Structure 1
Amino acid sequence: MFYTSKGKVLEDKKLIRFLNGTCSPKEEQEVLRWLRRPGARFRLDMLMQQYWEEPDPQVKDDTDYRELLDSIHKKVLKPGKRNDVKWQQLAIQGLRMAASISLIVFSVYFLIEGVNYRADSLMAQAEFPVRTTTRVTGPGEKLTLTMPDKTKIIVNAMSEISFTSVYGKEERLIQLKGEAFFDIAPDSLKPFRVQTDGLTTTALGTAFNVFARDHQYRIALTQGKVRVGATDKNVELLPGQMALWTPDQEDMDFSVQHFNRERITSWKEGRLMFNRKPLGLILDDLAAWYSVEMHIAEEVDTNRRVIGTFENKNLKDILTGLSFSTGFDFNIKGKNVYIKNQSPMT
């Protein structure tokens, strides 16, 4: 038994579990702290010497030494010497000893290398603090990211996404403001999580869309299964289901409904779809996507519903298409867009 810096006994069994990689995280930290003490490596050598002299009787050796010896006979001995029973017994004992020594030498080597690796890993974590990477998209801009675990993320315009340097190593956590589509690489040991303010979406291997703007949250699942949670509220989604949540309404639970996949996710292919959506809501979306301010005259009928699809269009092209079907004029001046009814033809 050895003693830690606090005078507590460090049991041999705990150290052996550490060397075998079967100790708990708490025990691992305790052993690593102990190994930094002066003379700790010497005491480790003493422990290894003890097990050299008193090997574990549970270690099983499946080597067929007689077959191995016959193979050596064929290569180096004359035929007349092969049936010397006493010599065979001595040779087999020698082979067993050689094999045991080799096994112990290699075991000690790998155990020491394991200690060094664990200590180096701990030092590396201390020397290189966790860093945060943040990516921001501008008006009309989309960003595609392929993470170290092969997870694919498509970030919509006017959005912000953040992750740390331990992503994929200790956890898979993404912070999101705005909208993004996630195609998750499976990893049962590290669930993938997306945090949007007080809302957390957890998935093992799946594909889903997250919308988080102006205190409105929509999580639409296209593949697999996810769990969406906020404080004490949780809901699990199946493909084709979308969870809606408004945090301003404290007593409101998640609302789950079915959604049209093409309408919800078409933005990631550069396509905008409107299916009987009010003109006023469309203009609000365009203001957010292209970072402009809409000035809408009172006479414009913003409740008029619009059906249409626009592929890879800029703001001017989209407004031009909408103006033909809804009868308004527009004027873009920098970050301001002015909408009014079309003047009657004279």
Structure 2
Amino acid sequence: MEELLVKYVRNECSPEEEQWVIGWLQNPDNESRLRGLMRKQWSNPSVSGVESPDWQQMWLGITRQSKDLPAEPEPPLYRTVWRQIARIAVWIGCIIIFGLSIRFLREAQLPANVIYQSGADQYMRVELTDRSAVILNKNSKLIVSSDWSGPNRRIWLEGEAVVLVAEQPIGFRLSIHTADHVVTEAQKARIYVKNQNKKIRVVVEQGQANFIIYYAGMLGEMKKYALQPGGMAEYTEKSTQLIRRQVNPQAYTSWARNE
């Protein structure tokens, strides 16, 4: 190594040797070895006839070259923070897009929702896949979601019906949609539901249910009201007025007794 350094100082190195020496000198791990060679040179004069490199001059040259190198400016702190935020935002965006893609693909593979419509002079009983049932009064419409694999099993009702909610697995529930922002949820119950002329009425005959109103104009606020047997919730969409009271459920469900 010393011979190669001597050739480098004398400008006698080939281009390949010169590049190798420069790389060796610029490696911080070799600094201690170079300092050792310098101490050896200073404490032991050159043997007659053998020329040794001027280690001190070489070290000063390396130091000078290092000072002349342009320093890489550190980016401002705010720029570093914004870069991290941008990376996180990109990852979150990718995750959301991936999730939505899976959802849309899954929904595209599902069959269409099933629609039931009772006639002007007939009732209709609809059996659901979870052993629940819906008894439609005359001139009523029921839409049943085709996706019953998740915990939210959804139906939409227009008109009047009695919903017999079968016992659901833990964490599952049947959601009865009567408007874009009004939902009744139950896990095991017998419920009277009426959705007519923008007025919604829910009466619990057996079991219990949650009457939920989503207020879109109030930062997505949701209000949930628990209904026990005999409990009624009546909501008018136009006035957003809610009335709750105790009633006799049979006064509302007697027409469905024989269905």
TM range (shorter): 0.5 to 0.7
- Runs of 4 or more above 6 Å deviation: none
Q: What is the CA–CA distance in structure 2 between the aligned matches of 1:126 and 1:219, rounded to whole Å?
A: 30
1:126 shift after superposition: 7.1
| Relative contact order higher in (CA < 8 Å, ≥ 6 apart) | 2
Q: Secondary structure at the match of 1:242?
A: strand
Count of residues in correspondence between the two structures: 155
Q: Secondary structure at the match of 2:253?
A: helix
Where in structure 1 are there 5+ consecutive unaligned residues?
A: 1-25, 31-121, 272-346
Q: Is the 8 A contact 2:151 2:173 kept in 1?
A: no
Alignment-mate amino acid for residue 166 of structure 1:
D
Residue 175 of structure 2 aligns with which residue? 193
**Structure-1-length-normalised TM-score:** 0.40
State the AA in 1 paired with 2:202.
I
Q: Deviations over 1:260-288 (max 9, x none)?
A: 222110111369xxxxxxxxxxxxxxxxx
For the residues of structure 2 that align with 1:148 and 1:160, how far apart are their CA atoms?
Answer: 18
**Percentage identity across paired residues of the two chains:** 21
Give the equivalent residue in structure 1 for 2:244: 256
Matched with 2:90 is: none
Q: Is the Cα–Cα contact under 8 Å of residues 130 and 164 in structure 1 kept in the other structure?
A: no
Equivalent position SS for 2:162: strand
Residue aligning to 2:120: 139
Give the aligned residue type for 1:177.
Answer: E
TM superposition shift of 1:125: 4.1
Q: Does structure 1 residue 128 correspond to structure 2 residue 109?
A: yes
Contact 1:148 1:168 in 2 (8 A): no
Q: For the Cα contact (< 8 Å) 1:192–1:204, is it kept in 2?
A: yes
1:233 aligns with 223
Change (3 A) 1:184 1:245: same
Task: Answer whether contact 1:149 1:168 (CA < 8 A) is retained.
Answer: no
In structure 2, the gaps of 5 or more residues are 1-94, 215-221
Worse-matched range after superposition: 175-184 or 229-238: 229-238
Aligned counterpart for 1:166 among listed residues 147, 159, 166: 147
Residue 193 of structure 2 corresponds to 210
Q: Is the CA contact 2:151–2:171 (under 8 Å) kept in the aligned structure 1?
A: no
- The verdict on how the C-alpha distance between 1:209 and 1:168 changes in structure 2, with shifts beyond 3 A counting, is farther
What is the match of residue 242 of structure 1? 232
**Which of these two proteins has the greater Rg computed from alpha carbons?**
2
For 2:207 and 2:119, the matched residues in 1 are separated by: 30
Q: Which amino acid aligns with 1:201?
A: T
**CA drift at 1:210:** 0.4
Contact 2:163-2:192 at 8 Å conserved across structures: yes
